[in-house]
Amino acid sequence: MSKNYLLTAFRHLLRHRVFSLLNIIGLTIGLAAAYLIFLYVRFERSYDNFHSKAARIYRLCCDEKTPTGVIHQGFTSAPMSIAAARAFPEIEAVVREDFQLLLVRRGALVFQEEHAAYVDSGFFEVFDFPLLKGDPLTALKAPLSVVLSESAVRKYFGKSDPMGQTLLIRDEGMAAKVTGIMKDMPENTELKADMLLSKSTTRLFRADEDKQWSYFGLWAYVLLKPNVDPHALEKKFQAIGRQFNSYGREGRIIGVMKDFNYYSLHYAISPLGMLIAPLDANLLSVQVSTTGLPGTMAAIRGVWKKILPDRPFSYYFEDEFFNRQYENDDRFGRLFIDFSMFAILISCLGLLGLASYSTLQKTKEIGIRKVLGASVAGIIRLLSGEFLRLVMLALVIAIPLVWLIMSRWLADYAYRISFPWWTAAAAGGLAMMIALLAIGFHTFRAALQNPAESLKTE
């Protein structure tokens, strides 16, 4: 029985080769596009969802009130999370992460480690980053303890076992002992680091850090106890906020400059204060000419080596750094264009197949109409009108939906384009033209066919 069904289906495919081919191609492209979209969305929604306690982990953020508005900060000061843990019994654990550009040396090897962070000792109790070697409960307790990723182990120690060995960190050359090895962190985490150092290490060079309420620069996470309502707990943080406001620093204003964007254009311009603090600077900006750039960079490197022979010379160009802020937007834009082209192609294939099937079904009707005096233009209008009505119905549904989605998406940007009415009209007109081009071949061929042949085939 099944064999007969397969033979019948195969004969049908052979009898209607073009129509079958269009359907198969359209279905293949549609399934491929849907699968790619599924993979992309799943990856974007999987960020840090692999932690077993993810539902109870929250990141602390600060809203700094100024006379002109509120500044939304993704960072906190060092004492804030500690004070919250002491004040609120609903909090089970606190983990702070302080990313640093760190000078690391081992023998003749000198690196400027860009993926280093000081973290609290409970890091591996809150987050599920597996340790290959070392005790997750004690690896980051003692000062000058360091946990390396597999990539960092290869970078600093090659194939030798790093456990118990030391790395010299910072300009002072502090000896940090390797107490653990972890798997490389996955791409879908915002905590990406190759070197984790115990947070207690910072007390050796910033003894009063836990009292510096006005210094922002740490990421802080809290692990709530089971069944705690995060919204109810959030309301209690105004008390912590008031304590923070009393720790501000005073200074004398010596100048005022025009507003400018010092973050990406995703964010609106917010207030900024610049302090004269040379000892806190960790970057040097140099304006150079693009003419003879390799020679200029070689000269700067030479001067750097004379002044700081123990620190590697690393640099980046401002335009490249600026562009990196919008890599996600560029990637999303390319994906959006690719999937849009897929959708248009699938739609055209669908229209082409439908036009082929429709003209095949109406072969006799077209022949009779031509015998009765119908013109070629009249036949084309008859056949095209049916498809254009379907396209119009699709536009009536699609345009309000697109407007709603685009409005919500653009709302996430501080600086955004408008969505004028003529864009919808232009898109509708373009859709009509694409539809006409897709069905034009079949309708034109059917309209020109000899009516005697049409009636004979029937």
Calculate the average pLDDT of the chain: 83
pLDDT, position 246: 46
Q: Per the domain annotation, does 120 fall within a domain?
A: yes
Same domain? 239 vs 300: no
Q: In whole angstroms, what is the distance from residue 220 CA to residue 76 CA? A: 7
pTM of the model: 0.72
Q: Per the domain annotation, does 11 fall within a domain?
A: no
Same domain? 111 vs 226: yes
User: Which has the minimum average pLDDT: 105-119, 191-205, 235-249?
Assistant: 235-249
Q: Per the domain annotation, does 419 fall within a domain?
A: yes
Q: Per the domain annotation, does 214 fall within a domain?
A: yes
pLDDT, position 9: 67
247 pLDDT higher than 50: no
249 pLDDT higher than 60: no
Query: DSSP string spanning 216-261?
Result: EEEEEEEEEPTT--HHHHHHHTHHHHHHHHTTPPP-----------
Q: Beta-carbon neighbour count of residue 335 at 10 Å? A: 13
Q: Per the domain annotation, does 251 fall within a domain?
A: no
pLDDT digits (tens, 9 = 90+) for 14-63: 776 766 777 777 778 778 888 888 888 888 888 999 999 999 999 998 87
**More reliable by pLDDT, 129 or 421:** 129
Range of the domain at 85: 54-245
User: Which of 315, 338, 372 is the last residue before a domain boundary?
Assistant: 315
pLDDT digits (tens, 9 = 90+) for 301-358: 999 989 888 788 888 888 888 888 888 888 888 888 888 888 888 877 777 777 777 7
pLDDT band at residue 404 using 50, 70 and 90 as cut-offs: confident
The angle formed by the CA atoms of residues 438, 441 and 442, to the nearest 5 degrees, is: 100
**More reliable by pLDDT, 385 or 203:** 203
385 pLDDT higher than 60: yes
Same domain? 206 vs 61: yes
Same domain? 103 vs 168: yes
